[in-house]
Each structure stands twice: as structure tokens, then as C-alpha cells.
Structure 1
């Protein structure tokens, strides 16, 4: 049985490689697939294992007990009443299957595989004969969900989410096929994709999908099958944006089309706008299609949009989508702390997009952003227990004030549970973001311990990372080619170690002196070229070769661009890639009274028994007695931002004032 499974996977790998090789164009840089990377990392391995043993089972259980599975069963029977709230609830099953598939690819689990197959059978029975799959209509076509419209597709440009459901199904079915070699889910997806090809396109139905992701999903199917109709349809959906008639003068994102990224053609857009998750999926889809078609206008557009977002519309911990009303981007520099939204799905989408931008351009700045999001505003979205979540990721929780969009405590699930299931599918795919390759070069993008087996020029190169990142900057990489060979190893030198808080002037360090990074090869300093943020090491590599370097992890005081008025005269704290916050639990029940004067000295201390093991920052600061009362010296402890809200409800702050107001006096 095991030999048959290995044979199936080999066939899949050959078919997939054949489809990719048949394509004339693609990303100039290719990621090293997650199945080629085995983690042994103190920070990430336990999180991925918790996802496997806790989050995935809990997600499937919640799909069962909330009625999401029942919706498919009723659709199969063609009777009943849609029993959950949103027409996109189907996708929670798809995303959990996707995460389970990634997990099973590296950690076989026959019991889980059998359960997933049983769900796929239910999904297949819910599919209509022509391939349509959307339980919110199929259960009772005469009384569909209020968002769905009386007929297929008529509300797709708004809220029906028919194509959104398809997109997530395509992503999940692709993952399941590539992980298992089984076609049961893939065939369902292809039948649905063929229906889309028959329905939409030149001379057929025209629509700009209301919630993007079908574009990314169609590209996944194209990569597997080589069927160009899928790629053409993905491009068609993208090019349909900006053609619908909106009131361009309306000061309302829904009425003028900005909410949907539909106010103008994508090639004319130059700002990150509208619903943040929709935007991330659109820009990721544009990158995919640009890579496969060579569409330079797409690349020019997403370059402009990326620059706008990074220079004016991203929070210091990597969160995006500042405005609760519409879960959307605000105006330039509109980054309020008290009402920050920062949806977890938007953070995950931002990782998708930045990975693709790197694959297009080969610049480390995209990985710098990806890393900032990954270690801060993304993993903050799941509790340390693996079964409690944030939908939004707050920047500030203060006593007596809680905005409806802000969640001071984590929830088991939500009526709209897109974020928990998105986390389920993302975490087990993380090893695929660590390495990439192009020609005779291997990129080391993330410092996550483990072993990768990379095929370079048809020869295997084994790279083993040993480190205690993100708590320590001491890095070791063993490079073991199958036989001696000359090639380049490109090691990312993070922006934060080069005195760049972010690849723009939105945030900066008070101390702008870059660290002196010494790289050694087999114990001796080696000359290297710094190119696009990478140390390029060219060598005749042989077994036993070892690269070592140390990225100094001084505590950095971060300040914001003066245009961000809410952060004026305030400071945030960063050490390595980790952003910090103050939480009530460590600071006598309150942090809204903390003042961190300039040049405060912080002592990093690792506490293994706290929050599953974290490096905390300790310092003497000032604290107010009351709003305009006296201030006095006090001890202060900061914890990693991602770890807050795991010990109950209370205050949390990321940005702290640096000076005492004139009305305040320091108590003796």
C-alpha cells in the first residue's frame, strides 16, 4: 500500500512538472516546495504540530457542529434550508481540507485521510450535474440565500461569492491532489472550472468577481493540467475590473467601486484600496497571471500598489486594512491605533502577495515585509492553544474603551470564520516560503531550522539550518551538495539588521546605524556581494561546508512618519523581526499610563515558562498616576505582540508616548 502511494505521488510530480515545463513563461524565481523542507525549529515546529493535532481537528468539528457539513448534505439531497449565515461558509470546509492535505503530505495520517475522503464524497454529491457547486442555492433554488440573487451569477459582482467559493475549492482540490495523488477532489474542481469556462469569457457572461480568489485558484488548476482555458479565464476576470458603471463621484467605497477594486481597470490602479483581503487576493492573482503571460502592465500596476501600501498603509506589526467599516484600507497614512482592524485573512493574503513579488523581482524587501507580517500580525491571529482566534488584530486595548471591531479576547470561532480556516491552510505550507532557486543560485529567505533537499542543475543540494531564531541572530547553514559544484548561495540580510524598519519611510529606527554583518565560511570570514538585500556567496561547494553569521539583535525604538499623526511623539519596540507590546498582566494591570523616554535601555530576557517561551524586554520607564497627575519611575515588561491575549482580558499597547506633558511632574 505504501509503495502504491509513493508511486501515485511520483506520477503526480511528473505530471505537474510536465505541465509547468510546457509553459513558456513563469516566475523567474521558483520556490522550493514545502515537501522538500523538513523543519526542526523550536519556534515553528510546535506551532505546525499544534495546527495538525488541535487546529485541524477542531476546525473539522466546528464545520460539523455549525451546520457547514449539513449544508452540503442538504444540497446533495436537494432539500432543506441553508442553515448557516453566509453563502461563503462552504469555503471553511475547503480550506480545512487544504490544510489537512498539506499536513498529510509530510505527516501521513490514514484516519484523517479517510475522513477527508468522506467529506469529499459529500461535496461531490452536492455538485449539480453541469458542475455548479454552491450550497446556498442548490439546497433550495427557489429560495436561495438573500445575497445570492434569484439566478446563478446575477449577484456575483457583489455578495453572492459563487466564484469565491469556486476559487477556494480549486485551491483545496489542487493541494489535495498534489499531496495525495488522488483525483477525487480534483475531478470535482475541474468539472466546476469547465463550467466557468463555458459560462464566462469574451462573447459570454462578463463579470468582475465580487470577492477575488478564483483567479489564483484557476492558475493552480492550469499549473496541474496545462489547460490554457483556465489561465485565460483568470486573466479575463482580472481584466473585467473597472468596466462596471459606478458613481465615480460618490464618497462611498461601495458606490464608487473602490471597495471591490473595481473603480478602474487594474492596469490603471496605483493604490491599495478597498476590502483588504479582496485586494491581497487580486494582487496575488495579477502576479500569477503576469508571471505566466508576461503582462508587463500588470507588473507595473502591482509595483505601484505595493509601494503605496508599504509607504502609507501598513501597520508597524504588518497588519493591513485599517478601517472597520468594510474591512478595508483607508486613506494614505490613515492608521489609527484605537480602531485598527487588521484582519487575520488580510495578513495571510499579504504573505501570499509578497512571496509572489519576490518571485517576480528577486528583491529581499518583499521577504522583509513577509517576515514582518509572519512573525507579528499573522500568528497573532491564533492563540497559543491552537483553537482560539482573532478575526481582527488590535493595536491598542485600553481600560474603558473597546471599539466593536476590536477583540480583547480570543474566540473559539466566528459566524464568519474565514480567518481560523485560513490559518489552518497556511501554517502547514510555511516550509515552502523558506527557500527559492533560480538558475545556479539558491535563496535562503527565512531563518527556520531544518533540512531542505534542493535539486539544482539536476543534482541534489542539502541545506541544513541550525538556529534559535527569532530569539537569537546566530545562524548556521550547512551546505552539502551531492558532489562538489560551484553555485551561489544568497543569504538574506534582513532590513532590520541594516537599520531599515520597513522598505519605505513609513517607519524608521531612532538609531539608524546598520549592523556590521560578518559572514564566515568554514570558520573564516568570506567576501560577499550585497545584492538586492542578499549576501551572494559564490563558492565551489563540497560536503562539510558551513556558513555562519550573527545578526545583532539590539532592541530598536521605532518611530513613525510624521504624517501618521496618531503616532506622533510615540515609540514602538522591535528586537530582530519581533514587534513588542505591553500587556496588563506583566505591568500591574495597566499599560495605558506607560511613558518610554528616549534612549531607555531594555534588557532582553528569555522566559521559557511564559507564553510557550518568549524573549521579554524589561526596562525602567515612567508611569502616570492619572491623566494629568504625577509620573514616577516604574518597571516595565514588554512581550512579543503575537503572544498577547493568551492570559485573559486587559489592556495592551504597541505605541507609547516618549515624553511627559508639560502639566506632568516627575514624582521624587
Structure 2
């Protein structure tokens, strides 16, 4: 019998396993469940509240308005015509259900819960008697979606996304049961999962799922129920990659070789992050899950190698991944163009999932460093400050010259493929679950977010409280509160950027080293501390109201890229604390692409509580290139550069933006603008 206690494993983070699954291999480090972390943070708490009050309701409204809900109603009636564009549109409902469930776990809302029950009833009515659930076929089995094939699972490898839909269903079902104790969505998911396990496996049907996530979802159900078939089927799907005979192994084309689907070779033989970035990072997350739960050392070695490749050669300075728009995929090593950067928001969501799992496997701060980089930059750039406008791709540069290929210059409320808005809706409320980790007597602090958490160390209750104004200030305070003296180790992450490490690789480095040191005090007295895998290890018999103070230097640093990143040659990016900055047209006389940041430029950081919901702004006097049309000449003049956090761009209209700044003029680009077609009134 399932109990609500069994469902504290959320997002694969941590929790209490049912008896059937206890004492098995698992992650060495368990994350503290998001339900046990209460935020009072000035940076993240407003965003979580906006997600609850704006993003999730807007997502449900748009699912209704775009006929995503209608698809389920028609499937139940076995009548009508599939009313949306893609066969995976069902997942937008599942992901929003998941996000709403997390919100219910933090803030009960009877009206929202009643709506979810109505929606779940429609999902259940659309399910076929044997558990199959896929509206793109069930509405009219004789005329299914063009991507679906004539028979079930026929095009799962290529296009149908049947198992992708199932994976998101499983994740939503676990979340809703954990939040409410109701089994209505869970029963739907288990019925579908039993069908999947009966259909696929040794001696049965074999396929490498075209869009991974069913593997992660099956692991969730395994954690919830202890049913071994769910874990073994997840492992089976992972191991099916690289065995399809229909690809051309010698082809350099990512589709013909199978690389787009991470299917060109068995996963244990893969060494690079390749193909569709979202699919890839879901796969790598599942590989970490299965490696942890089965002790598969070959799988663990492969996922370690792939992570090293991505962080050393295939990640943007903002944490974005998936450089190439064609196929939404990773490019070659060091292929990180700015003008055409893709950086799908969903890839940042997947990257958070993956790096959390890597931390739980290894206990190394470098994984939390990447999580922090993604969270404060490449992920939250994907949603506007209004909570209801979104980027699908996240540009590194917007330039208004004719002939220059821009990516999205402005956010949209919704997309035909709206995977990104709904992915954000489910990630935000789970964010408290990424703050802390625990392994026996070791308590890890990964993210600096004001609030408190309740823990148990050797059966003694401990409350740990954070107070800070991060990411704008580096003064961190941690207060230990418990009834009796507790003997445990507090491991506080010292961010790589505070240790002269811009990236846990040589892909990005600081232009000049800093002499500033991280100072730690306990009860007001400076202490010496040892670093272990990037964590300051504080070993102590903690007493009530013991206070730890950590001072992180918040200098403005210039970042340079590896020489093989050709688009960034001779350029610098700006970083303060964990936040990457950009210049936007609004603050810089209508331009951003004409700004030069010479070596040695001194910046001033100024709090701006009334700008863009509160930011710290950077400014400096620098040369900018100006065009003198009257005299047909160009020259440089001194001007104030104003830089804002990258995540905040495009909230004040369309215009130029750039993350990377040349340090000197090396060339001039001449652009011929086409004459206006007066006859057409253009």
C-alpha cells in the first residue's frame, strides 16, 4: 500500500522510500525535500509567488484556449479531430499539473485543487482500457497524427513522442499524490506504466525512446512503489541506445547517424554531449538515476565523461546549452556562436535536473556551481518579469543591422510548441529542494537563499536558517537552532567565482586573478577552514544560536573565453557574484553592439531597487563607436556603459543587446541597407 510518506522523493531529489525499496543502492547524498525548506528570500520568493499566482494560471488558461484540454475531451468521446499542432501537446497539461501540485505542497489552495481534480478526470476519461494514453491517436485511431504512425509505438524512435508523454504523466502523478494524498492521477499513471513495462523489455518490443524523459518518470514511480519493473524498464530504455541498424554510423549528419537522438552508440561508449540538448540532458539525468540505483559503474563513468565534455566545451557563459538552432542541439566542441545562439529554456531546466543528480552522486561543489550559473542567468532569462511572457531560445546578442540573423528579440506569451513555459512552471516551486543536501552528519549548503529548513541529524532535530541579500551582496549568515548540542559538519559551498574560477573547466576564465579572500566567522570570530571539493567544512559541536558568517567578495570581474571559442576572441563578458551582465539598448543611447570594454576598465556597482524589480547595475566610462552620417565617417567617443543582469533583458521593449564586448576596435563591418520600396509603401 502506498503512503504519502513514500512520495517525498520529488524531482528525483530525496525522501523516504517505501519499505520494499529501502536498503537498496541510491544516491550517497540526499537532497533535503523542498517541502522542508521555507523561503523568505527577496530574490527567489517573489518569483515563486509570481509562478503560483500568474504563470501556472496563465498556463492552464492557455491550455484551455489552445484546445490542449479539448484534445482530452475528444479522446474520451472518440470523436473529433486532434486540435493542436504536435502529438506531445498533452505534456503541457501534465507539466502544469506537476507545477501546480508542487505549489499545493507549499500553499494549499482548495479552489486550485478542485480544478486539478476536474482536469485529472478528463485525462482519465481519455485513457484507453489497457492504459494507453495518447490523444493524438485515441481521438481518431483510423487517422492518427501524422507523426504517430498507423500502429502504437511504430514511430516512437523518430517522431511520435508516445513515451515522452508517458514520462511527463508519471512525474505529474507523483507530484499530485505527494501534494494531496489523492491517487486519481497516480492510478492513471500506474496503469499506463504497467502497459509500457508489459510492452517493452527483453524478449518484447525494443526501442530507444525518441525524446527521453520516460526513463526519469519510471524511476519516480519505482521510488514511489518499489516495483522493480519500473526501474528495470528505465534501464532497458537507456541500454537500447546505439543498437538501431537503420542509421549510417559513418555519416557526419546528426540525423542520419542517430546522434540527434543520442542513439549513434551505446550510452556507455558515449563521451560527448551530442544532439538535441533537452533530450540529451534528460537522458543524462536518467543515466545518473539508474547508475545510483543499480550501482552500474560503466553508466556512471559515461555520465561523468559527458558532463566534463559539456562544461569544458559546450556551454555558454550564462549556463545556456544547445548552441545550434537546427535540431535544437549541441554543436561541435567550442561551437558557441553569439549571433545565432539557441539556448533553449527547456535545456536549462534539464541542466538543473542533471547537475543536482551529479551533486548527489559526487558531493562536489562544481555541480552546484553550474546549477547556480544556470539558475541566475540562462534559466530565469526564459521568463519575463511579468511571469507570463517567455523565451523559447535565449540569445547572446541582438543586433539590428540588416543581414544579421537575430534569434528571438522579444518574449512571447505562448508558442505552438510550448514546452518551455510549462517546464518553468514545474521547476520554480521545486527550487527549495536544491538548496541543501545531507549525508549522515554532513549538511551541505548549495544555494544561498534566505529561509529555514528543518533537518534530523543522528535523530536530533536541527533548524538551519539563512539570512542574506544574495545575489546582490556577499554577506551570508547561517544560524543553527536546536534544543540540544548537535555534533555535525556544516559544508558551505564556496562558489567557484569566489575562488578565481569562472567555470569548473578552462572554457571560461577571469581575465585577471583576484586577491580577495573568502572570510568565515563563527560567533563573530574569524576561523581557519579547510576546503573539500569546493566546500568549507565546519566541524563543530553546534549549540543553540551558533552563527556562521561567510563573506564572499562581490567584485566586478571580466571573463574571457577559451581561444577556440572564435566568436568571443578579443572580447570580455561581465560578472558580479553569480550574475552575468549584458548591455541593452535602453540604457546605452539606443545601441549595444558599438560598445568597447578595454582591459583595465573600472566598474561601479549601484543598487537600483526601482529598476527591473530590483537589480544591481554596473556602470563604467568606455569608448563607443559612433557613425557621423553627415561627414561619412566613424569615430569613438567616451560614453557611460550601463549593464544590467542578463536575465532581465527584453523586459522594456525590443532593441540591441550583447553579453560579450570587444576590448578594442579590430575591424569595421560595413552593412548596406536596402533602399525603401516607395511604390509598395514600405
Q: TM-score range by the shorter chain?
A: over 0.9
Q: How far apart are residue 612 of structure 1 and its match? A: 0.2
Tell me which residue corresponds to 2:660: 655
Deviation beyond 4 Å, 4+ runs, structure 1: 7-16, 401-405
- Describe the SS at the equivalent of 2:255: helix
- Describe the SS at the equivalent of 1:594: coil
Tell me which residue corresponds to 1:36: 36
Residues 321-373 of structure 1 show CA distances to partners (whole Å, capped at 9, x for unaligned) of 00000000000000000000000000010011000001000000000011000
Tell me which residue corresponds to 2:446: 445
Checking the alignment, whether the CA contact within 8 Å between 1:499 and 1:515 is kept in structure 2 is: no
CA distance in structure 2 between the partners assigned to 1:289 and 1:465 by the alignment: 33
Instruction: Give the alignment's TM-score, normalised by structure 1.
Output: 0.97
Tell me which residue corresponds to 1:106: 106
- The reply on whether 1:66 has 2:66 as its aligned counterpart is yes
Q: How far apart are residue 400 of structure 1 and its match? A: 2.5
Tell me which residue corresponds to 2:583: 582
- Describe the SS at the equivalent of 2:627: coil
1:132-531 pair list within 5 angstroms:
132-245=132-245, 246-401=247-402, 406-513=407-514, 515-531=516-532
Q: How far apart are residue 482 of structure 1 and its match? A: 3.5
Q: How far apart are residue 11 of structure 1 and its match? A: 7.6
Q: How far apart are residue 19 of structure 1 and its match? A: 4.3
Tell me which residue corresponds to 2:549: 548
Structure 1 alignment gaps of length 5 or more = 1-6
Tell me which residue corresponds to 1:644: 649
- The reply on whether 1:634 has 2:620 as its aligned counterpart is no
Distance 1:20 1:282, change over 3 A: farther
CA distance in structure 1 between the partners assigned to 2:667 and 2:116 by the alignment: 64
Checking the alignment, whether the CA contact within 8 Å between 1:8 and 1:180 is kept in structure 2 is: no
Checking the alignment, whether the CA contact within 8 Å between 2:8 and 2:33 is kept in structure 1 is: no
Q: How far apart are residue 456 of structure 1 and its match? A: 1.9
Distance 1:242 1:405, change over 3 A: farther
Checking the alignment, whether the CA contact within 8 Å between 1:594 and 1:656 is kept in structure 2 is: yes
Checking the alignment, whether the CA contact within 8 Å between 1:616 and 1:638 is kept in structure 2 is: yes
Checking the alignment, whether the CA contact within 8 Å between 1:241 and 1:263 is kept in structure 2 is: yes
For these two proteins, the number of residue pairs brought into alignment is: 658
Distance 1:452 1:204, change over 3 A: same
Q: How far apart are residue 528 of structure 1 and its match? A: 1.8
Distance 1:13 1:214, change over 3 A: closer
Checking the alignment, whether the CA contact within 8 Å between 1:16 and 1:225 is kept in structure 2 is: no
Checking the alignment, whether the CA contact within 8 Å between 1:12 and 1:181 is kept in structure 2 is: no
Residues 549-589 of structure 1 show CA distances to partners (whole Å, capped at 9, x for unaligned) of 11010000000010111100000000000000000000010
Tell me which residue corresponds to 2:536: 535
- Describe the SS at the equivalent of 1:349: helix
Q: How far apart are residue 542 of structure 1 and its match? A: 1.2
Distance 1:621 1:121, change over 3 A: same
Residues 391-422 of structure 1 show CA distances to partners (whole Å, capped at 9, x for unaligned) of 00000000135877711011000000000000
Structure 1, 463-472 or 654-663: larger mean CA deviation: 654-663
Tell me which residue corresponds to 1:568: 569
Q: How far apart are residue 661 of structure 1 and its match? A: 3.1
Tell me which residue corresponds to 2:676: none
CA distance in structure 1 between the partners assigned to 2:538 and 2:622 by the alignment: 43
Residues 422-473 of structure 1 show CA distances to partners (whole Å, capped at 9, x for unaligned) of 0000000000000000011100000000010112222211010000000000
Q: How far apart are residue 630 of structure 1 and its match? A: 1.1
Checking the alignment, whether the CA contact within 8 Å between 1:498 and 1:514 is kept in structure 2 is: no
CA distance in structure 2 between the partners assigned to 1:23 and 1:203 by the alignment: 30
Structure 2 alignment gaps of length 5 or more = 10-14, 670-682
Instruction: Give the alignment's TM-score, normalised by structure 2.
Output: 0.95
Distance 1:184 1:514, change over 3 A: farther
